Each structure stands twice: as C-alpha cells, then as structure tokens.
Amino acid sequence: MYAAKLGAKKVIATDIYEKAVVCARMNAQRLGLSGVFEVRLVPDQDISAYSSVKPDDKFDVIISNPPYSINLDVQKNTSIIDNGDLGMSIIKGLEKHLKPKGTAILLYNSYFYHYVMVKFARYAGYSVINYEPKFSTPWEEDALFNSYLKRLLAYNNLPLDAFQFDWRQDNRKRTIPFQLSGDYSGLIIISRPANK
C-alpha cells in the first residue's frame, strides 16, 4: 500500500493467510487504493513464490518477507519456517517475473537462510547487495544441528534417533547473536541486469 501511495501504477500483494488478504483489501479500500492495489491469496496446494501471479506478470520491484528459517523436515510451511518450497522459488522465478533492470528486495533475518539466498542469487547471475542478519533462530539451529548430527551418529554406528537437539528441551532460549553491520540487517537486494 505504501508503494501505491508513493505512485506505483499497479501493486500485487500476496499472502498465505486468508485473514491477512481480507485485512489488506479492507485497508486498501479505506485508503482509496483499490484500483491500484490488488491482493491475492496463495493457494494451499502451491505455496511457491509466484503461484498466485499470472504467468505473464512482470514487475519492476519484488519485495518479499517470507518465512526466514529453513527446516527441510517440516511437512508444511508456516509464517516462520520454510520447508524449502518458498525461498528458492523466489530466485528461480526472477528471470520470468522481474523486469530487466528490476530489483528484488528480500528480508531473510536469520543467518543461514539469508546466506543461502545470497549465494543462490549470485549463482543464478544476479547482482546482490546484502546486509548481514543479526541472529540465528533456535529452530533453525535445531534443523541444522540435527541434520549434521544424523551423519555423525551414522558414522559412529549409533541409532539415528539416539538423541537430537531441541531448543525447548535443551533450554537454549537465546539465539546465537551476530555482529550487526548496519541498520538494514537481513536485507538482500537483488538486481537483474538489462541483458538477463
């Protein structure tokens, strides 16, 4: 809505929660932005980044604040945890949906997934500026620790379920803090060159 207020000719917003979509529509109408601001519900059966946009939709700017922790073992994405469906699909869809010279702005404020997205965008040939995130979440740490732990248990001929990390049971209440590098911690700015 802020982009529309600043003069964007067309804004498409998406969300996985129906109540958020209803609320955004009501606010757009209340602010007189209904003709410019369109909200679409992301279908449960396909929560990839571009599932609710049309195949020919192209954007000058894409802004995303997705679930910022990854855990490949969860069954379904939540507002906090991505099971691997969403994040990578954002980068994969840029060539089709981000106009040449366009910009994607992502907020991944958890250390590991932030750098996965930075490295993947660079690997895909995009120019990337990133601002280091300020923390790692305990649930992201559990996912990473447990993944490596399974390899260690197997190497030592122990049952793969002998023990595991669980931040609640382990009483790890704090996230691992990192040094802040600026006021924009967690932001990833991806630019599409004119010839890509």
Letter string b/e over residues 130-139, b meaning 16 or more CB atoms within 10 A of that residue's CB: bbbbbbbbbb
Average pLDDT for the chain: 86
Q: Do both 58 and 125 map to the same domain?
A: yes
123 and 42 fall within a common domain = yes
What count of other Cβ atoms lies within 10 Å of the Cβ of residue 70? 24
Residues 103 and 145 in one domain: no
Condensed to tens digits (0 to 9), the pLDDT of residues 50-62 reads 999 999 999 999 9
Q: In terms of domains, do 50 and 128 share one?
A: yes
Question: Is 80 exceeded by the pLDDT of residue 135?
Answer: no
Mark whether 149 and 165 lie in a shared domain.
yes
On whether both 124 and 148 belong to a single domain, the answer is no
Expressed as residue numbers, the domain containing 144 is 138-174
Same-domain status, 147 and 129: no
Global pTM reads 0.80
Same domain, 132 and 142: no
CATH of the domain at 51: 3.40.50.150
Same domain as 126, residue 147: no
Asked if 74 and 164 sit in the same domain, the reply is no
pLDDT at position 180 is: 46
Question: Cβ(173)–Cβ(135) under 8 Å?
Answer: no
Q: How many CB atoms lie within 10 A of CB 75?
A: 5
Question: How far apart, in whole angstroms, are the C-alpha atoms of residue 36 and residue 71?
Answer: 36
> How many Cα atoms sit within 13 Å of 116 on the Cβ side?
19
Instruction: Return the biggest CA–CA distance within the chain.
Output: 65
Residue 47 domain-assigned? Answer: yes
